Amino acid sequence: MPPASTRIRAIDWLRGIAVLLMIQTHALALLRPELRSGALFDSLQWVDGLVAPSFILAAGFSMALTQVRAASVPGAAEARRRRMLRTLRRLGEVLLVGILVNWMWFPIFREPRWIVRMDILPCVGLSLLLALPMLFALAPYPRALRWASLLLAAAVFGVSPLAEPLGPPWNRFLNQHSDAVFPLLPWAGYVYLGAAIGSATAEEGPRGATVWLGALAAAGIVVWSLTPWFAALYPPRRYASWKCSGRPRLRAISSTRCCCSSASSGFRSRRVGESRAPGRSMRRSRYCSPLARSC
pLDDT given for residue 252 in this prediction = 52
Domain count, the chain: 1
Q: Is pLDDT above 50 for 289?
A: no
Find the domain containing 287 and state its range: 9-291
Taking the C-alpha atoms of residue 84 and residue 17, their distance in angstroms, rounded to an integer, is: 29
Residue 3, in any domain of the structure: no
Residue 2, in any domain of the structure: no
Residue 1, in any domain of the structure: no
- Average pLDDT over the chain reads 79
Residue 112, in any domain of the structure: yes
Residue 247, in any domain of the structure: yes
Q: In 3-state terms, what secondary structure has residue 140?
A: coil
Taking the C-alpha atoms of residue 91 and residue 4, their distance in angstroms, rounded to an integer, is: 22
Q: pTM higher than 0.85 for the full model? A: no
Taking the C-alpha atoms of residue 243 and residue 258, their distance in angstroms, rounded to an integer, is: 18
Burial class (CB in 10 A: 0-12, 13-18, 19+), 236: exposed
pLDDT in tens, 84-115: 999 999 999 999 999 999 999 899 888 888 88
Taking the C-alpha atoms of residue 211 and residue 208, their distance in angstroms, rounded to an integer, is: 5
Q: In 3-state terms, what secondary structure has residue 232?
A: coil
> Angle, nearest 10°, between helix axes 184-204 and 51-72?
40
Residue 222, in any domain of the structure: yes
Residue 4, in any domain of the structure: no
